[in-house]
Amino acid sequence: MDFKEKVAELFLSIEKEMTMDEVVQMIEIPPNQDMGDYAVPCFKFAKKYRKSPAVIAAGIVEKIGRHEEFDKIESAGPYVNFFVDKAHFAEKILKQAFKEYKKYGSTNIGEGKTVIVEFSSPNIAKPFHIGHIRSTLIGNSIHKIYTYLGYNTIAINHLGDYGTQFGMLISAYKKWGNTEVVEAIEKNPIPELLKLYVRYNKEIETYPEYRDEARYWFKELENGNEEAHKLWAWFREVSLKEFNRVYDMFGIKFDSLAGESFYSDKMPAVIDELEDKQLLKDSEGAKIVELQEYGLTDAVIQKSDGSTLYVTRDIAAAMYRKKSYDFYKNIYVVGAPQKLHFEQWRKIIELMGYDWANDCVHVMFGTVSLEDGALSTRQGRVVFLEDVLKKAVEKTAEIIEERNPNLENKEEVAKQVGIGAVIFQELFNNRIKDYMFSWDKTLSFEGETGPYVQYTYARTCSLLRKAEIEVDDNVDFSLLTDKESFNVIKKLEGFKSAVLVAHDKYEPFYITRYIVGLAQEFNRFYHECPIVVEDESIKKARILLTKIVNIVLKVGMELLGMESPEKM
């Protein structure tokens, strides 16, 4: 039972002209329990009834009367306050959670719907750096949330494996790729390819013609030049090996690695269709779609040398995905700087007559900067993501050695906690905000952190082991009406809502904040209410509550992409 909906039902029995959604939106959670568990303000009815909100609230209370789910319903000034029957509330919530187990908080809203989530998408032959952490982790969590809610969810890593930068790399390799360079690339691919890329960009300042050479080799790659394709395939292969090490550390799997190159043979059909629909215009030898009347800059579809651009490839990719997957939503987890690009190609699809253009969703996020300035691949200013994860694991291992040197599986726990700390910190803030990467903040183990939530989960595991009883929901729920127990149960009731809001807003931080709050409430309960006690009835009731917290914390962490060690 959703008690918020029950409040709305009772209110609707009086205010029949309103809808369920309208009343649910009005319901507030009072700042302290003395004011009730739910409250409905009556200000908006003053004009309708020509009475003060306080008089209206008192009248509504009188008409509603008593109901078994609520201990009392009373007015306080302009508010109608609902106090739930604590034992009844505890029974409903905990029995439902125990029955649904790991599906508690889930719904079937995604049944029969396919959702694509495109995320991570690093550029081949470039470092997988801290700047990629946002798309990678936000996208992975959104993928997990949608899967949890019953969608058929497809994870796509749209690799940046095409474009002029490959012309630069091919040209650079042909200039400086001696035996020594080949051996270095095989041994340490990304840093060595980065050196070539950085060097080429610097040399362009002295030799501007190098820019034209890079364009030439990319055009040759598009035209199927055997030498260019062979080098490109090698760059892609060695890069993927590097990327997969990081994905393995995060536990991330993709259903498709179809990057930009996959659509190279699908772009001529897009250009033909744009021509047929009279959307293409000539502009100094290039082909463009005019978009200024829609408040956007014109989009170049094909350059004067015949080569294509990101926008062309993204149109081809979206059309291919619709045809292949018939998606309900096509979600792109891509940084805010790509907003114009996204709006351009989506508008073009709309102008082509495809109404599913509106099902393509750009989930934006802010940028990451370093404490001493912005990231720049061209200048070689990067922090490798793999180094961040390794350092997090090392620091965690040091803390374990200091606090719990006899812990079993220390190395495994250090990985789970260290990497979990990085994931949690990344997903703790609103995704649209820019933030500065800080080693100290990321690897902090105090306060509202991943290790704190993991430690609380490990505590619940320890209590369940220590209790040595089979957990069931046949308990005396009146023993869970004290303030600390009830606060935990109220928090548990909110899990479904947190998951749905995260789903609706494409915002994992709602789950991150939720599980921190649940961990805090449980720890207060743990300190105030001894759990493994002599009294069998009390022990059974409190162990049931502990078990449900254990389940919800684990599911919450899974939705973020974190692991949950049972001992810490």
**Ordered structural domains, the chain, with CATH:** 3-84 (3.30.1360.70), 385-560 (1.10.730.10)
Report residue 562 CA to chain centroid gap: 12
pTM: 0.90
User: With the C-alpha atoms ordered 319, 321, 326, 329, is the resulting torsion angle positive or negative?
Assistant: negative
d(CA 553, CA 454): 8
CA dist 245 to 142, 409, 515, Å? Answer: 22, 21, 28
Which tens digits make up the pLDDT trace of 464-509? 999 999 999 999 999 999 999 999 999 999 999 999 999 999 999 9
CA–CA dist 367, 369 (Å, integer): 7
Q: Per residue in 24-75, pLDDT tens?
A: 889 998 988 888 999 999 998 888 889 999 999 999 999 998 888 899 999 9
For residue 459, give both structure tokens. 């505590």
Round to whole Å and give the CA distance between 484 and 556: 21
Instruction: Please say if the pLDDT value at position 375 is more than 70.
Output: no
Residue 378 has pLDDT above 60, yes or no: no
Q: Mean pLDDT for the chain?
A: 92
- What pLDDT, in 10s, does the model give residues 157-207? 999 988 788 899 999 999 998 889 888 988 888 889 988 988 999 999 999
Known catalytic residue at 129: yes
Res. 376: pLDDT tops 60: no
425 within 8 A of 442, measured Cβ to Cβ:
yes
Rounded-to-integer distance, Cα 162 and Cα 182, Å: 21
**Tokens found for residue 16:** 């029949």
For residue 389, what pLDDT is reported? 92
pLDDT digits (tens, 9 = 90+) for 511-524: 999 999 999 999 99
Quote the tokens at residue 362: 């750009």
pLDDT for residue 140: 98
Amino acid at 81: N
Catalytic, out of 4, 88, 92, 126? 126
pLDDT of residue 165: 84
Q: How many CA atoms lie within 13 A of 322 on its CB side?
A: 14
Grouping H, G, I as helix, E, B as strand and the rest as coil, residue 19 is: coil
Considering the candidates 4, 132, 158, 554, report the single residue annotated as catalytic: 132
Identified catalytic residue from 4, 86, 92, 129: 129
Output Rg (C-alpha) for the chain, integer angstroms. 28
67 catalytic residue (yes or no): no
Is 143 catalytic? The answer is: no
Summarize the confidence of residues 299-325 as an average pLDDT.
Answer: 91
